[in-house]
């Protein structure tokens, strides 16, 4: 049987969701009998393959212009897109800066931080531009929402096994958590 191709990528996040993926422990090994992880932020290959994957998983908030590109690339190359974690689903911690304007936020981060001396706001042309922090669903269509900060390994395993069975997963009980 050919394996189902799964690609992961991250946006503005903390890698907590990826830790939770690893927390599946030996179940991850069992899953690898059925799925092929083509690319992830924590393996060598970073971009989802051009010929596409069945399931794409994105964690983190869409926080800047690079995040928008990454989200769009994943959407184009996957059939089913999973938003993994509170940041991808709701916008998460990064949205706290939406309560301020960009200038205030950048000034606070790069100049006014208590540990900063002679700080400057980065302005190189090569850098991406920060945008209002939004969940993935605001940029591209999301098929499966898996909230949690981070979602538990059980919830991630549930979502992946349901998808392998050909069902769109429904989260209930302990699998549905916002914190």
Partner 1 sequence: MEKMINLRINGRQIRARSGQTVLEAAKAAGIDIPSLCHHPAIAPHGACRICLVEIERQRTLQPACTFPVSEGMKVETESPKVVEERKFVLQMLFSERNHYCMFCEMSGDCELQALAYQYGLDHWLYQNPYPKISVDGTRKYFIMDHNRCILCRRCIRACTELAANNTLGVKFRGAKTMVSADMDISFGESTCVACGSCLQVCPTGALVDRKSAYTGRNAQVERTQSVCLFCSVGCGIEIVTRAGRVLRVEGEWEEHNRGVLCVAGRFEPVYDNRERIKTPLIRKNGDLVPATWDEALDVIAAKLKTTKGNQVGAWTTCKTLNLTMSELFAVFQGKIGAYVGVLEPTLAELELPLGGTLSELVASDCILVVGADPLSNHRVLGYHIKRARMKGAQILLVSDKSNELSGFADKKFTPEELSKAVKICQAAATPFVVYGGETTQKDAEKLAGLKRKAHFIPIFPATNGYHAKVLGLRSGMDGNNKEVIYLLLEDVTPSEEVVKRAQEVKFLIVHTSYHGPITKTADVVLPSLLWYEQEGSTYNLEGKKVPVRKAVPLPEKLIPESEVFTQLAARL
For the sheet containing 35-39, what is the strand order? 35-39, 4-10, 53-59, 78-84, 144-146
DSSP secondary-structure letter at 77? H
Shortest distance, position 21 Cβ to partner 1, whole Å: 18
Tokens representing 29 are 């090994």
Tokens representing 154 are 């059980």
Instruction: Please give the residues from 95 up to 114 whose contact with partner 1 meets the rule CB under 8 A.
Output: 95-96, 98-100
163 near partner 1, judged by CB under 8 A: no
Taking residue 38's Cβ as centre, other Cβ atoms within 10 Å add up to 20
Which element (helix H / strand E) includes 76?
A: helix 65-77
Segment near partner 1 (CB under 8 A), from 24-32, 40-48, 57-65, 92-100? 92-100
92 near partner 1, judged by CB under 8 A: yes
Choose, by CB under 8 A, the member of 68, 83, 156, 163 that binds partner 1.
Answer: 83
Q: Which residues would be at the binding site for partner 1 (CB under 8 A)?
A: 83, 86, 89-93, 95-96, 98-100, 134-135, 137-138, 142, 145-147, 149, 170-172, 176-179
């Amino acid at each position: 049987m050919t394996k189902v191709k799964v690609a992961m990528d991250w946006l503005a996040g903390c890698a907590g969701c990826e830790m939770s993926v690893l927390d599946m422990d030996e179940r991850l090994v069992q899953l690898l009998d059925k799925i092929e992880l083509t690319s992830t932020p924590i393996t060598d290959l970073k971009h989802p393959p051009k010929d596409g994957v069945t399931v794409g998983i994105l964690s983190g908030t869409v926080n800047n212009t690079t995040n928008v590109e990454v989200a769009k690339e994943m959407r184009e190359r996957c059939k089913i897109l999973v938003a993994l974690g509170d940041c991808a689903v709701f916008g998460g911690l990064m949205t706290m800066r939406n309560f301020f304007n960009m200038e205030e936020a950048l000034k606070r981060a790069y100049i006014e931080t208590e540990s900063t001396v002679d700080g400057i706001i980065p302005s190189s042309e090569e850098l991406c531009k920060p945008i209002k922090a939004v969940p993935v669903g605001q940029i591209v269509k999301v098929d499966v929402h898996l909230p949690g900060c981070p979602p538990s390994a059980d919830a991630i395993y549930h979502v992946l096994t349901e998808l392998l069975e050909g069902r769109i997963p429904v989260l209930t009980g302990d699998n549905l958590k916002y914190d």
